[in-house]
Chains A and B, each alone.
Chain A
Amino acid sequence: MKKRNIITVLGISLTLLASCGKSFLERDPQAELPESQIVNSKGIEASLIGAYGILNGNVNGTWGNYSSAPSQWLFGEVAGDNAHKGSEATDQPNMNMIEFHTPNSSNDNLSQMWEVYYEGVLRANNTLRILKADQAGGKTVTAARAKEIEGEARVLRAHYYFYLWRVFKNLAYVDENTTDDEAKTKPNKDDVLPKIIDDLKAGIANLPATKINSQAGRMDQNIAKAYLGKVYLYQKKYADALVLFKEVIGAKDLRTMPYQNNFNVLTKDGPEALLVSKHVINPDGSGDNANVGDMLSGLNGSNPVGCCGFYQPTIDLVNAYKVDANGLPLLDGSYRNNPYKSDFGLSDDAKKAYKLDVTLRFDPRLDYTVGRRGVNFYDYGVMPGDAWIREVSSGGPFVGIKTMIPKSLHATHTASGAAYITDLDVNIIRLADVVLMAAECQVELGDLGAAMNLVNAVRERAAKLPPKTTGDNVAAAVYVVKPYTSFPDQNYARKAVRFERRLELAMEGHRFYDLVRWGEAKTVLESYATFEGGFMSRYKGLNYKPQNDYFPIPQSQIDRSGGALTQNQGY
């Protein structure tokens, strides 16, 4: 009896052991896919879309994606002379350090930039990796489509590396053949520009001239060409670049493409669009896939936006839009004489009595770039000055307009409850950019006439802008912009082209990178700091050092690599 009981117990125990064998302890991921599920046509296409998904500089969420914005407003503009950080002086102090060129390696804006764009690189790499696996095995993707996918992924990768390169210069290069273990300790000693060029060339070779499936967001041959030209321009390979720019421009006439359409949610994917970060409000109204990078520029104060009041145009930029009697900009720097500064610095009573002087001569692009007191701001009403500005004493009297959309479109084109998160696309390369880059090439190659024609195309288009008005419904300025009649010498031409580039593309993320590319960052920014510091003392006394042409590698990343990554010189 007793024996039998013992046997029974042992039997139960053994059964239990058996039933709790291997399968009991194997659990598949929940709501996630293992590798085995993704190496097929569907997985490859989805991975490619995922790779496009980083064009907006954001993995997910809305807050925090500022420095990685496709517009590059922080590094490209705030670090330059076009924009102030804005908001309150103490808000986002790490952005102040970018603005004042005193960044240190613990700046969260740097790690944000580094991490997000490497995420983009890895998504492109993963697409190429599984595409390769598929082509070597099941071939669920047709050869023709495989070629396109390779082109798309490689242009995306080129773009992500280029964005990283402009900010950090010294990068670790990883591609679809790099193993995870190699990547963990890859030093940042690679010259990535040749790899970027290879990818862009592959893009030109593999991509069709027109959009795949007519999908506006897809890469195409023109984008690859424009981008490759841009990279050549950064390398000062003017002739190589010019060939590509000419192919991109072709017979397109900028003058037929309204300037303001570039900043209008209703005219996305217009003829001028080349590479854009496409944005959309999610079906549930959330903003992860919208223009979150620029959200902080949402106006502060008593206006329909109600956000954060960052990214304010500088007094210097506003004055750069002054034109002479001939409708030409003041290339000699005299635009800083007798500066126009709206109601800034006026005493209380004078401020209350301030009235906009509508007799000033301005390039009309001013009021499509800057919101200033007394001028109608979309359908929000007249910009009232300080009431829309978070801290005038540190941010100045102006607000930006290129990232804003009309109030009437808030209901349909902003994230629910957040009028500052819009689905406005962001231009990464647009035709005017290419035209002006071509003009630069012509200047450097000595064809000043061709350069002038290109610049004039941009100016003639600007001349078509409808005037902005005041509350009394009169033109807010004497708007005048006229073509150049001659470029007397190369130096003049160079100045004119560069000045035009500033006016046309202000607040679109190019300025600081252009200054560095031109080797002008120190002189221009120190001079700007003296001028701007005359109004806001915090800008005074900039000492721009050679290493300020690039930024420190994030310390957290150096730490994670176990020291495989090394800090940039000077930091």
Chain B
Amino acid sequence: MSSLLIGGGMTTHAFASGLTSLGRVEVVSLMKTKSVQQTPIKGVVKDAATGQGITGVSVKVKGSSTGTSTDENGAFTVQGKVGDVLVVSYIGYKSTEVTVSSKADLAISLSGSEDALEEVVVTGYSAQRKKDLTGAVAVVNVKELKTTPAASAVEALQGRATGVQIVVDGAPGSTPQIKIRGYSTINNNEPLYIIDGVPYEGKLSWLNQNDIETMQVLKDASAASIYGSRANNGVVIITTKIGKSGKPQFNLDSYYGIQVPNSGRFPKMLSPQQTLDIENRLDGTNNVMPDYLIAGPKVGGKDVITAADVDMSKYKYDASSRSDFYQITKANKAGTNWFDALSQNAPTQSHQLSVLGGGEDASYAISGGYLKQKGTIIHTGFEKYNLRSNTRFSAFNNKLRFGENMQYSFTEGFGMGVNTNTAGDYIGEGSALGFAYRIHNIIPVYDEGGNFAGSVGGQYGNGENPVAIAYRAKDNKNKSNMFFGNVFGEFDIVSGLTFRSSFGMKYENYNGVSYTYPNPEFTEGSFNNGINEFFGLNKEWTWTNTLNYKKTFNEAHTLSILAGTEAIQNRNRQIRGKGNGFFTMSSLDYLYLDAASTGRVSEGSGSVGSLFSVFGKVDYSYKDRYILSATVRRDGSSNFGPNNKYGTFPGASAAWRLSEEEFMKGISWLSDLKIRAGYGVTGNQRIPANQYLNRYQVAINSSSYPIDGSLTSGMWHNAYSNPDVKWEQVSALNLGVDFTLAQGDFDGSFDWYNKKTKDMLYLLPLPAVAAGRAGSPYVNIGDMQNKGIEFSLNYHYGRRQESAFKLDLSATISRNVNKIVSLAPSVTQQVYGSFRSMETSILKPGEPLGAFYGYKVIGIYSEADMNNASVAKYEDGKSRAGGLKFADVNGDGKIDANDRTVIGSPHPDFVYSFNINAAYKNFDFMAYFYGSKGNQNYEATRYFTDFGVFRGQKSTRVLDEWSPTNSGSMIPSQVRNASAYEYASSSYYVQDASFLKLKNLQVGYNFDTNKVFGSNTGIKKLRAYVGVTNLFTITKYEGLDPEVTATPSTYPALGVDFGVYPQARQYMLGVSLGF
């Protein structure tokens, strides 16, 4: 029966029917005809698809108050007579009316509902009809989601649900940055995932997008508070595909694509000659470009390089020291385009095979997949193998149901920084992309001997060859073996009362290696070599027990009560080994730590944590008209000390279906209208362990001293305590409207919310007088607010009209306004995001998280300004005509550190998406736009390209530099010895990064398999499609990609662009085969 089809972590029946609603099944009404007088009428209600009995189905005699509901076998008995009409209804199924035509037992078959409102969604330990939702729950159209090829399911979620903002970058297997309804905390904003009922925190690149059956995002606290202390950032509930009764159904999905770097967006740089012209002008010199940059110890432009110096017999790249090294490099007078050199067309492919099937008391779903994506930055890529199985069994007349979900996934990222654990990990001035901005373009990629050329000699700055960085990282690997799954059993104790127990396990075994090659061509390079290897495991078990009672009283009152406990324990353990001084780096086969001659070191670390919770939930509805839901959860966490170990998180919500009221019945264009209100409290406990204790550390690097010449280990107080540390809390109010108009042609929803974070877990840095350089503890201080609105509107044409042309349009728009309400009383502001001499970002009450911070540019100093004492000048006395003119914010007549102010925000005013799905006969078409409006990026790369900080490339922007004759320009004139104020953090770096992207465009064709393969074919479905992703981007932003993930820092430095891994355009060809 259908309850076999339970997904982990949700109640039986509802989910099963939800599943059925997705499959199309025929209504098979088996009726017998003979009429009799009032008498018990017996029957069985079964699922049309699975043939299993359905429990709890409402069976009413039309026009009377008589009614009942089915038992655990789907059987019912009701008083009636031949000729009566029985109304049979159950959530997730099409209601049906059956005329009693004989005394014989009825066999009633219910088929899944096609009505979107009847769709059943999982919302936390239980499931509901979409129409009964009282909280803000975004139900993701998984079918549409899957049309966007992505290594990570989260990446594809972009724009698919209102209120969910995702920033992705182009790195294969990258970890997108996801936030739900804004930043609720200054800490980690990743949501909690519930996969088949098992909570999961972390990146999701191991999960196969194709295995996802449903995805719901619990956005507001009333919906999420059942997940209590980990739900502050929202909860994403994922269920995976499960088996169906019937013959095995095989499905093969494959695509192949080519990613093409968007070279049109590469930054434009001056040619070496143009750069030299500027330098000559500034220095009053007449230097010409040298023919050679380096020949052994002689450097072009400083020394005379003779023919004898460039004798290739002297060339020695493979040296062991500077003095031994002899490189000969010609100048690339045409200029190297480092971005071109770093980019490539990259293939991507994905193949998935799945089989679903089952019988009376068992079902199964098994799938396997392979994905390989090369990166458009050379020598990067990602590969994933995954295998999934779930099986369901039932026994004792379906009173006992049990099964398992299991996934195993092997992922491997290779190359520079790919597949990191934090969004943006590989962005930074020292990354290949960072150096592509910075290295001088007179330097060629390769020298005369075919080895990498570089900045050695120092006369052309200190950029490192980014192609060399990428090449040398080509064998760096980051691998993970992830096992994730659960076993569960549930038992119907009495009708309506179900006990369920689920034991989930995550076991990740990860390892990686990175190689250090000598980089002698780099002016700050070394001859060192080495490897760095790590192994580790992440283990987490979750044991969940729930009791669920469901009953309908008097056919009008539906009550569902859930109570449960959950225990979670996790452990992480890692070992790392390093070594250097390898005899050779020429063969990976040689590179094991045993072969390291020097610097062998081993390190290890670990963490443990546990959580224990009790929770309860009550859902009540009256005639589908008034719906109430209340939840409460009490969590205890090992992260907190005896003073505050436990936290309680309540939530309540209600909905009123106006369209069910008599006074609304007459409105023909209104099919359904529901208003919702919810309020709830959620928590956050994602902080490092043991903050409530003072901790001391013995560490070679930070507490040792060579007291007798050799290193002696000592100890230091490395972490200060806050015994009172407790839960961070979000309390949120949500008001919403769901509507369906014109017989389902239009539907949509609107939500308004106000989310307040209090007792924010804040890594409040203590003054050094109290804590020195040691770690400060988290304290609960500071408030943050997110207010927003979300609107989605869908239009459907074709299905109701039974037209050959079908069209679905959907548009979403989400606006979130983030504001830090207060920090600690002692903290008026916190400046962070240190990058060389800049500090890019700030936490300040009244401003959004990560607002950009610096001097506000109000123009360029003119000669007149310089002679006008009333125009504020830099405090260092080095202002000049042609330099940036800043606002004298405090009005003291001079520009100094006190004039820094908020200069921009990385947060968009709103994000929006537009999706077109159309089908005509065998053709289908899909286009998907995603946009963000009003967000700004901090284009930190301008530090190097616009201000001449370090000798390197210059942006073509400087061609428009200010001059007395070009006084309208906002580009400072080029200068030597600029005041540090000129290139300090200022609004010059802050750029509008609004964008609109055509994320995906796809055309498919469904072949008539009988025509193609003949009528005896076993092939049931064949669809082929062509698509292109990231076809265009409309933006004014001049960086590589307007989508910039946060740079890791104490607090996330949002939108700070040091050179992101840009998203590529991808052309793809795919096929989907069913048999």
Question: Which residues of A are interface residues toward B (Cβ below 8 A)?
Answer: 2, 5-6, 9, 12-13, 16-17, 19-20, 24-35, 37-38, 43, 46-53, 55-56, 59-61, 88-94, 96-97, 100, 102, 104-106, 108, 114-116, 118-123, 126, 172, 174, 180, 183-186, 213-218, 268-269, 278-280, 282-286, 288-289, 300-309, 352, 380, 384, 386-387, 390, 393-394, 407, 410, 416-419, 537-538, 541, 543, 555-557, 559-565
Q: B497 — nearest CB in chain A belongs to which residue?
A: A6
Instruction: List residues of chain B with CB within 8 A of the CB of A418.
Output: 526, 528
Q: Is the CB of A116 within 8 A of B773?
A: yes
B826 within 8 A of A: yes
The answer to whether A89 and B977 touch across the interface, beta carbons within 8 angstroms, is yes
> Which one of A13, A28, A172, A269 has the highest number of Cβ atoms from chain B below 10 Å of its Cβ?
A13
Contacts of B599 in A (CB 8 A): 284-286, 416
Would you list 20 pairs from A and B whose C-beta atoms are within 8 A, ordered by A residue? A5-B491, A29-B689, A33-B695, A46-B698, A49-B707, A49-B715, A53-B705, A56-B705, A115-B768, A119-B768, A216-B708, A284-B601, A285-B580, A285-B599, A286-B599, A288-B702, A289-B706, A537-B977, A559-B826, A562-B826
Residue A417 contacts which of B527, B607, B978 (CB distance < 8 angstroms)? B527
Query: Which residue of the partner chain, among B614, B689, B693, B698, contacts A34 with CB atoms under 8 Å?
Result: B693
Q: A25-B637, A48-B714, A541-B877 are in contact. Are A32 and B299 (CB under 8 A)?
A: no
Nearest to A351 among chain B residues (CB) is B302
Interface residues of B in 480-513 (CB under 8 A from A): 491, 493-494, 497, 499, 501
Q: A90, A279, A284, A304: which contacts B706 (Cβ < 8 A)?
A: A279
Q: Which residues of A contact B766 (CB under 8 A)?
A: 184, 560
> Is B864 interfacial (CB 8 A cutoff)?
no
- Decide: A17 and B565 in contact? CB cutoff 8 A: yes
Given contacts A106-B831, A407-B321, 9 further A-B contacts (CB under 8 A): A9-B547, A29-B693, A30-B607, A279-B706, A289-B704, A306-B322, A417-B516, A417-B530, A418-B526
**B695 and A29: CB pair below 8 A?**
yes
**Which residues in B have their C-beta under 8 angstroms from that of A387?**
297-299, 302-303, 457
> Is A386 touching B322 in the complex (CB atoms < 8 A)?
no
Q: Do A283 and B601 have beta carbons less than 8 Å apart?
A: yes
Q: Which residue of B lies closest to A30 (CB)?
A: B606
Instruction: Select which of A30, A93, A217 is within 8 A of B708 by beta carbon.
Output: A217
Chain B residues proximal to chain A, CB less than 8 Å: 283, 294, 296-299, 302-304, 321-323, 456-458, 491, 493-494, 497, 499, 501, 516, 523-528, 530, 543, 545, 547, 565, 567, 569, 578, 580-581, 598-601, 604-612, 614, 636-638, 645, 689-690, 693-720, 764-774, 824-831, 834, 836-837, 839, 875-877, 896-897, 900, 947-951, 976-978, 980, 983-984
- Which residue of chain B lies nearest to A538 when distances are taken between CB atoms in the complex? B977
B719–A561 touching, CB < 8 Å: no
The number of A-B residue pairs with CB atoms under 8 Å apart is 350
Report the Cα distance A308→B764, complex, angstroms.
Answer: 34
- Contact A307 B524, beta carbon cutoff 8 Å: yes
Chain B residue nearest to A92 (CB atoms) is B837
Question: Within the assembled complex, what's the spacing in Å between the Cα atoms of A308 and B712?
Answer: 30
Selected contact of B701 from candidates A27, A108, A269, A289, CB within 8 Å:
A289
The interface residues of chain B lying within 8 Å CB-to-CB of A380 are 323
By beta carbon, the residue of chain B nearest A116 is B773
- With A183-B770, A559-B830 as given contacts, are A280 and B717 in contact (CB-CB < 8 Å)? no
Q: Is the Cβ of A407 less than 8 Å from the Cβ of B323?
A: yes
Given A38-B696, A96-B980; A46-B298 close (CB under 8 Å): no
Closest chain B residue to A564 by CB distance? B767
Decide: A33 and B698 in contact? CB cutoff 8 A. Answer: yes
What is the minimal beta-carbon distance from A204 to any residue of chain B, in angstroms? 21
Partner of A102, one of B458, B699, B877, B983: B877
Residue of B nearest to A16 (CB): B565
**B686 CB to closest chain A CB, in angstroms?**
15
A19, B530: Cα distance in complex, Å? 48
Q: Contact check, A37 vs B875: say whether CB atoms are below 8 A apart.
A: no
Complex interface: chain B residues within 8 A of A55 (CB)? 705
CA distance A253 to B706 in the complex (A): 28
Which 6 residue pairs across A and B have the least CB separation, nearest first?
Answer: A417-B528, A49-B714, A562-B826, A119-B772, A93-B980, A285-B599
B556 to chain A, nearest CB (A): 26
Q: Please, how many angstroms separate the alpha-carbon atoms of A88 and B830 in the complex? A: 30
Chain A residue contacts of B605, Cβ below 8 A: 30-31
Point out which of B695, B980, B983 has the most chain A C-beta atoms below 10 A from its C-beta.
B980
- CA separation between A174 and B769, bound complex, in Å? 7
Question: What residues of chain A lie closer than 8 Å to B598, measured between beta carbons?
Answer: 285, 416
Contact check, B696 vs A562: say whether CB atoms are below 8 A apart: no
B304, B543, B599, B836 interface centre (most CB from chain A within 10 Å):
B599
Pairwise interchain contact B768-A49, C-beta atoms closer than 8 A:
no
Q: Which residues of B contact A88 (CB under 8 A)?
A: 949-951
A90 x B947 contact (CB < 8 A): yes
Interchain nearest-CB distance for A294 vs B (Å): 16
Query: Assuming A123-B717, A306-B523, is B711 touching A289 (CB within 8 A)?
Result: yes
Task: For residue A24, give the distance in angstroms from its CB to the closest CB of chain B.
Answer: 6
A380 to chain B, nearest CB (A): 8
* Shortest Cβ distance from A541 into B: residue: B877
Shortest Cβ distance from B637 into A: residue: A25
Measured CB to CB, the closest approach of chain B to A186, in angstroms, equals 6
Does the CB pair A306–B601 fall under 8 Å? no
Residues of A within 8 A of B501 (CB): 12
Asked whether A556 and B831 contact (CB < 8 A) given A115-B772, A217-B707, the answer is: yes
Q: Distance in Å from the Cβ of A503 to the closest Cβ of chain B?
A: 30
Contacts of A105 in B (CB 8 A): 897
Q: Are B825 and A417 in contact (CB under 8 A)?
A: no
Complex contacts, B950 vs chain A, CB 8 Å: 88, 90-91
Q: Bound state CA distance, A97 and B837, in angstroms? A: 11
Contact B837 A559 (CB under 8 A): no
Given A89-B976, A123-B716, the answer on whether A31 and B704 have CB atoms closer than 8 Å is: no
Within the assembled complex, what's the spacing in Å between the Cα atoms of A407 and B321? Answer: 10
Check B720 against A282 for contact (C-beta < 8 Å).
Answer: no
Q: What residues of B have a CB within 8 angstroms of the CB of A31 in the complex?
A: 604-606, 697
Is the pair B876, A97 in contact by a Cβ cutoff of 8 Å?
A: yes
Contact at A94–B636, with CB atoms within 8 Å? no
Instruction: Determine whether the beta carbon of A26 is less than 8 Å from that of B638.
Output: yes
A384 to chain B, nearest CB (A): 8
Shortest CB–CB separation between residue B362 and chain A, in angstroms?
A: 24
Interface centre among B493, B581, B637, B718 (most CB of A within 10 A): B493
Q: Contact: A61 with B701, CB < 8 Å?
A: yes
Q: Would B769 and A172 count as touching, CB distance under 8 A?
A: yes
Whether B896 and A104, one on each chain, are in contact in the complex, defined by CB atoms closer than 8 angstroms, is yes
* CA of A416 to CA of B582, assembled, Å: 12
Instruction: Report chain A residues within 8 Å CB of B715.
Output: 33, 38, 43, 46-47, 49-50
Contact of A122 among B321, B543, B695, B771 (CB under 8 A): B771
B753: min CB distance to chain A, Å: 32
Given contacts A16-B565, A269-B709, A301-B457, contact A49 B704 (CB under 8 A): yes
A107 to B917, CA, bound (A): 56
Q: Which residue of B lies closest to A556 (CB)?
A: B831
A52, A121, A562, A563: which contacts B707 (Cβ < 8 A)? A52
Contacts of B948 in A (CB 8 A): 90
Residue pair A184, B770 in contact (C-beta under 8 Å): yes
Given A27-B638, A27-B689, A34-B694, A559 and B827 contact (CB-CB distance below 8 Å): yes
Q: Is the CB of A309 within 8 A of B458?
A: yes
- Asked if B877 and A543 make an inter-chain contact with CB atoms under 8 angstroms apart, the answer reads yes
Residues in B with CB closer than 8 Å to A279 are 706
CA distance A275 to B706 in the complex (A): 14
Give chain A residues whose Cβ lies under 8 Å from the Cβ of B716: 47, 50, 53, 123, 126
**In the bound complex, CA of A394 to CA of B304 (Å):** 23
B951 & A32 in contact (Cβ 8 Å cutoff): no
Residues of chain B lying within 8 A (CB to CB) of residue A33: 695-698, 715
B457 contact set on A, CB distance < 8 A: 301-302, 387
CA gap between A311 and B215 in the complex, in Å: 60
Smallest beta-carbon distance B931→chain A, Å:
37
Contact of A115 among B523, B547, B773 (CB under 8 A): B773
